[in-house]
Amino acid sequence: MRQEKQNTAPLTRRLTADAMLTALALGLYFLEAWLPPLVPLPGVKLGLANVITLFALYRLGPRDAAAILLCRIFLATLFGGQAISLIFSLSGGGLAFLAMCLIKPVLGRNQIWVCGVLGALAHNAGQILAAWLILKKAEVFSYLPVLIISAIITGLFTGICAQEVLKRLGRGVKEQNPS
Amino acid sequence: MKTKHWILLFAVLLGASALVFLWGRSQKQQGVTARVLQDGQLLREIRLDEIREEFRFTVWDADGHYNIVQVEPGRICIREADCPDKLCVKQGWISGGIIPLVCMPHKFIVQLTEGEP
């Protein structure tokens, strides 16, 4: 494979990659929101945007993945127009990111999907937590079994997606921060 | 940890959650409890799903004003009141939901909660 001559400064290339992934994540997020839900329960969703977070985490490292995630959350809230969704998105996305970062070192190259599932579980846990903080009613935890089931299934799907993408994508975007 | 152990872990978690969910559904009373409050004080709790015969009772406030509550199996309403607007009476029956019956002038509330009190 011919090695490309890199005329662009590494920081620019990194910024461009991050920006494109943010745009992709936003697109996936709103696409999913626009589609009619398969299961009409609150909080049960595919979480397609997490494919991007996973991809970025493995390909670019935690710093870039975090930046992409935060930008996507804030822009999505801005474009979506629902201020209250911010706290849910932040707690869900934040916990998911934390969980994925923590578990990543012990996983192998073929266990990226595990990272996805755990991220989904953490995400839903974060959403219940946010609901509890806002409503202050312990009844919200009774929703946990539903969200656990949903997280495992959807996390598996998005995790496998990310894993397959990472397997197939060559050295298009190199890991800038091997941390 | 090997991949198959992860698969096992998630399968167990999935199964356990499903079991808990089904158990919870069988446990849930679907019981609605009405709470009658006067000036913030809880006066009575009534399990609407355990009512066999209708009855009514009167609640007096500190100034001698009253609200008459009517209870039937599964629902409750404010039958009569001597407040000026009678909005509480006009609200009619409630049998579910989060919107309570409120008589503002008398600081009188009838609210519903899910499950046991």
Angle of helix A49-59 versus helix A112-135 axis, rounded to 10: 120
Q: Nearest Cβ partner of A148 from B1, B17, B114?
A: B17
Q: Which two tokens stand for residue A95?
A: 């916990």
Q: State the pLDDT at residue B68.
A: 93
Instruction: Considering only the beta carbons, identify the residue of B3, B20, B114 that sits closest to A145.
Output: B20
Q: Using CA of residue A99, residue A158, residue A173, residue A11, what is the dihedral sign?
A: negative
Q: Which of residues 97-116 of B touch A (CB under 8 A)?
A: 114
Least confident of A37-51, B62-76, B96-110: B96-110
**What is d(CA B35, CA A160) in angstroms, rounded to the nearest whole number?**
50
What is the chain B residue with the closest CA to A111? B3
The number of angstroms, rounded, from the C-alpha of A35 to the middle of its chain's C-alpha atoms is 19
The pLDDT score that the predictor gives to residue A171 is 52
Q: Looking at this predicted complex, what is its ipTM?
A: 0.82
B24: nearest CB among A142, A148, A149? A142
Query: Who's near B73: CB < 8 A, 6+ residues apart?
Result: B48, B49, B51, B52, B53, B54
Beta-sheet strands, E only, within B1-117: 32-38, 41-47, 55-60, 66-72, 75-81, 101-103, 108-114
Contact call for residues A68 and A77 (beta carbons, < 8 A)? no
Q: What are phi and psi of A149, to 5 degrees?
A: -60, -45
Is some CB atom of chain A closer than 8 A to the CB atom of B9? no
User: Is B12 within 8 Å of chain A by CB?
Assistant: no
Alpha helices in B1-117 (DSSP H): 3-27, 87-90
Helix (H) or strand (E) holding A59: helix A49-59
At A54, the pLDDT band (50, 70, 90 cuts) reads: very high
In chain A the first and final C-alpha atoms are separated, in Å, by 26
- Rounded CA gap, A8 and A21, in Å? 18
Q: Which residues in A have their CB inside 8 Å of a CB on B?
A: 106, 108, 110-111, 114, 117, 139, 142, 144-146, 148-149, 152-153, 156
CA distance A50 to A162: 9
Q: Which of B1, B10, B21 is nearest residue A145 as measured by Cβ atoms?
A: B21
Residue pointed to by tokens 């990111």: A97
Q: Tell me: the pLDDT tens digits for A27-44?
A: 999 999 888 877 777 788
